[in-house]
Structure 1
Amino acid sequence: MVKELQLFEKETLFYSVIKKNITVPGLKPWSARLITSLEGAMVFEDLNAKQYKLRNKFSTLDMAHTLQALKTLARFHASSIIYEETKRKETLGEYKGIYYDYETTLRQGEYNLASDFIFQSMIGALEAMKTFSKYDHIEINLIESRWRDVWSTALSLGRYSSRHKNVVSHRDLWNNNLMFHYSKNNENCWEPDDCVLVDFQGVSCSPPAADVMLLLCCNLNPTFREQNIDEYLNFYYGQLKKILDNSNIEIDEILTKEEFMTSAEEQRLWGLTICACLLPHFWLDDDVTTEHFSDNARFNEIFFKNRGEFIKKMMETNLDYKQKVMEIFEEIADRYCFPAKQYVIK
C-alpha cells in the first residue's frame, strides 16, 4: 500500500524539503532529525537512545500525556504558520502557501471513498453494526441510508480547506506515532516531559483542528475525551498563541479562538471517522496481527476486499475488541445519523 500510494516519496519530500523549510530556530523539535535518505529508506536519529518511548498500543492517553502531545502538535502547526507568514511578508502578500508549492505530492494517499481501504472501512463498520450494535432494525435502516454521506463529509473535512486556516498536518496521530520522554517529578514519579511525532507518510495540509481532533479521538477514552474536551482545546490554542507571539505574529489575524473552536466541532467527525478506519486493525495483539497480516494475500483480502468479515470475526472472539471498536462506530452513528437526538456521554 505504501509503494502503491507513493507514500515513501511523500515522506521523503516532507523530511528533506518541507521540514527543513519550516523548522523554526530555537523552537523545541517536534519530530526526529533525518540523518540521511537512501534508496527506499530513511535513517533518523535514535530516539530510543534519547530515552523516548512508545506507549503500549492498548493504553489510552491520560491527561499528562495528552497535554504533552498537544504541546508538540502546537509546535508543529506553528512552524508552518511562521514559515508562511514570513514568506508572505517577503513577497508582499503574493505567497499562496506550502500546499500550493507541493500540491501534487501532498495529495498522494488522500483519504477518499475511491480508496479500497477507506471504502472497506466504511462498509465493514456498517456490517459490524448490523450484527453487534445496540440499534434495532429501523435505526439500522436509517443509519444505512445516511452512512455513505456521513463518511463522505468526514473525509472532505480532512483536506485542504477553503474556509479555515490550513497548516502542514500529520493526519495519522494514533498511539504508535507518538513517542514520549519521561522525567521524575517532585514526588519521585515518572511523568512525560516531552513528545515527538513520527511517521509522516500521511502528511498534507488541513485545518489545525483536524489533527487535534484526530489525536483526541484516536487516543483517549471517549468519556474522558468529552469530559475534558474544552480544557484540551483551550490548552492547544494557548500553546499555539504563545509560540506565534514569540514570532510577533498575532494569532487573531490567522485563526481566532472562535474560528478554532468552531472548526474543532466540525473536525470531530473527521477524527472519529479516521479512528473508525484505524482502530479495527491496531486494537489487536501482536499474535493476531502476525496471524492475519503476515501473508500478503490475506492482508489484501482483509484491507481491500472484505473488511467487514474480519471485524465481525474479531468481535465474536474478543469482547474487549468488540466494546472498544463498536463504541467508536456507534458514536459516529449517534452524532451524525440521528441529528435530532442529543448525544449523551456515557
Structure 2
Amino acid sequence: MEDSKNSNPRFLNHYITEEDVKIIVKKCDYSNDDVTIKYYTIENASSKMLGFLADYWRLKVIVSSDTIEENVLCFFIKAVSKTNAAKANMVKELNLFKKETFFYSILKEKMVVPGLKPWSAKFVTSLEEAMVLEDLDALHYKSCNKFLRFDTPHTLRALETLARFHAASIVLENKKSKVLGRPYILQNEFDQFLDKGGYKENDIWFQQCMTGALDAVKSFSKYATEKYIEKIENTWSNIWISALSLSNFSTKYKNVICHRDLWNNNIMFHYKKIGDSLFPDDCVIVDFQAVCCQPLAGDVMVLLYCNLDPTFREESMPMFLNHYYKELKIILETCNIFIDNIITERQFLESAEEQRLWGLIVCACLIPQFWIDDDLTTETFTDADQFKDIMSKDKGAFIKSIMEVNTDYREKVLEIFDEIVIKYCLPQLD
C-alpha cells in the first residue's frame, strides 16, 4: 500500500498512526498489495459533545486499486480523551474503555445470529486507546433531538432493536448449552468483564447522582414541605440503593447482556420518506461501555423512562411491553427457541413492574446531564476541573444552578425526581 500524509498531524500523534490507518483498511478486506491509500482525513465527529466520557472523530479513507478507481471508506473513532484528564481518569478507573473493547471484539462476535438484522454498528478494530467502528452517519443514521421525547414509531423501532440485542444473548446461551450438554450462562464465563460500572452504592458518581437529586428536591420540589421533607430524606438513600439491587443477576427472571445506558444519544435511527414526512424504519444502539448481565426487563424500562414523556410513557406502557415481548418471541422462534421456556409473558410483566424503579433511577442519574443544550454541555463538560467537580464533588450545586435560570430544565428534571418522591418516598400520594 501507498499512502499520503494525513491532513491532521496533531490528531495523528494523539491517537492514530499511518500504520494504524493501513490496519484499519486491511480490516475492511483491502489487503492486496495493489491497494493504494490515496489520502485520508480525520476530523471531529461534531463541534458539540456527542458523549460525556470520550473524544469522537471521523476518519475518511480514499482507496484505489487495479480493479477500483476510487472508493471512500468512512469510520467512526471513539477514543480515551487526550484533552480532558478528568474524563480519561474516570474511564480508566471504571475500566470503561477495556470493557467496551471486550464487548465489541469478543462478546459481540459470539452473539452473531445469522439472518438477524444488525442491532449495533460494525466493529472494525481497536487501537491502543481508541476503537474504530463503521460510521453510522455515513449510512444516514442519526439521533433524535434530545429535547423531543420519542413518539410511538421511534419507541417501537427502538424496542425492536432492543429485542434483537437481547435475543442474541439468549441464542448464544442456548447454542452453547446444547454443545456442552449442560446449562451455559454468559455471566459465569464473563463476570470479570460484566461489572456494574458506576452503578454501585460506594461509587462516587452514583453517590453524587443520589445526593445531587435530593438537594434539588429540597430546593425546588413542591413536596419539600415541613409535612413531607423528613420522610423524603429518611427514605431517599434506601430507595436509590434498592434500585441497584434490581440490576443484580437474577435467580428469578431471565438475564441477558443489557445495555443499561439507553438514553437518546445512544439510540440512532434510519428514516424513510413517506409523502412529505420521514418515518423511522430502522434503529441501532451504540456505546456499550455499561453492559452488564441482568433481567432483560431492566433495559426495557431504562429505554422507556429515559426517552418518553412520563404521561405518554404510562398511557402507552402496556402497548410497548406487549410489542417488545412479541418481537422477542418472533425472533426466538426463528431460532427454534420457545419463549415460554425462557420467560413467560406473565413473568416478563412481573419483572417489568419490578424494574420500574431501576429505569426511574437510571433516568434520574442521566437526565440532569443530558437535558442541557449543546453549547452549555460543551462549555461545561469539556473543562476538566468542572467535569471533575460535577461528577465527583458537588453535582447538586450544578443541578440547582441550572434549575434557577432554566425553567424547562427545572420542569423536566424535577418531574423525574418528583416521580421518585411520589411513588416511593410518599406512596400514599400516588
TM-score after normalising by structure 1: 0.96
Q: How far did residue 107 of structure 1 move?
A: 0.8
Q: Which amino acid aligns with 1:154?
A: A
Q: How far did residue 9 of structure 1 move?
A: 0.4
- Point out the structure with the larger helix share: 1
- Corresponding residue number in structure 1 for 2:295: 207
- Corresponding residue number in structure 1 for 2:153: 64
Q: How far did residue 108 of structure 1 move?
A: 5.3
Q: Is the 1:6–1:108 Cα contact (8 Å) retained in structure 2?
A: no
Q: Is the 2:122–2:134 Cα contact (8 Å) retained in structure 1?
A: yes
- Corresponding residue number in structure 1 for 2:163: 74
Q: Which amino acid aligns with 2:214?
A: L
Aligned-residue Cα RMSD (Å) equals 1.1
Q: How far did residue 293 of structure 1 move?
A: 1.9
Q: How far did residue 68 of structure 1 move?
A: 0.2
Q: Is the 2:124–2:134 Cα contact (8 Å) retained in structure 1?
A: yes
Gaps of 5+ in 2: 1-89
**CA distance, structure 2, for counterparts of residue 107 and residue 216 of structure 1:** 23
- Corresponding residue number in structure 1 for 2:256: 167
Give the counterpart of 1:151 among 223, 228, 240. Answer: 240
Structure 1 residue ranges (4+ consecutive) displaced by more than 4 angstroms after TM superposition: none
Give the counterpart of 2:414 among 317, 320, 326. Answer: 326
DSSP-derived class of the 2:355 partner: helix
Give the counterpart of 1:128 among 216, 236, 246. Answer: 216
- Corresponding residue number in structure 1 for 2:368: 280
**CA distance, structure 2, for counterparts of residue 31 and residue 229 of structure 1:** 25
**CA distance, structure 1, for counterparts of residue 303 and residue 121 of structure 2:** 19
- Corresponding residue number in structure 2 for 1:340: 428
Length, aligned pairs only: 340
Q: Which amino acid aligns with 2:308?
A: L
Query: Is 1:265 aligned with 2:375?
Result: no
Q: Which has the higher contact order (CA 8 A, sep 6+)?
A: 1
Q: Structure 1 residues 189, 290: closer, same or farther in 2, change over 3 A?
A: closer
Paired-residue identity, %:
55
- Corresponding residue number in structure 2 for 1:304: 392
Q: Which amino acid aligns with 1:325?
A: V
Q: How far did residue 339 of structure 1 move?
A: 2.9
DSSP-derived class of the 1:213 partner: helix
- Corresponding residue number in structure 2 for 1:219: 307
- Point out the structure with the larger strand share: 2
- Corresponding residue number in structure 1 for 2:21: none
Gaps of 5+ in 1: none
Q: How far did residue 109 of structure 1 move?
A: 1.2
Give the counterpart of 2:176 among 87, 108, 114. Answer: 87
Give the counterpart of 1:240 among 324, 328, 338. Answer: 328
DSSP-derived class of the 1:137 partner: coil
Q: Is the 2:198–2:206 Cα contact (8 Å) retained in structure 1?
A: no
Query: Is 1:118 aligned with 2:179?
Result: no
DSSP-derived class of the 1:181 partner: strand
- Greater Rg, structure 1 or structure 2? 2
DSSP-derived class of the 1:106 partner: coil
Q: Is the 2:198–2:205 Cα contact (8 Å) retained in structure 1?
A: no
Q: How far did residue 188 of structure 1 move?
A: 4.2
Q: Which amino acid aligns with 2:313?
A: R
Give the counterpart of 1:32 among 121, 130, 137. Answer: 121
- Corresponding residue number in structure 2 for 1:49: 138
DSSP-derived class of the 1:241 partner: helix
**CA distance, structure 2, for counterparts of residue 71 and residue 114 of structure 1:** 35
DSSP-derived class of the 1:117 partner: helix
- Corresponding residue number in structure 2 for 1:139: 228
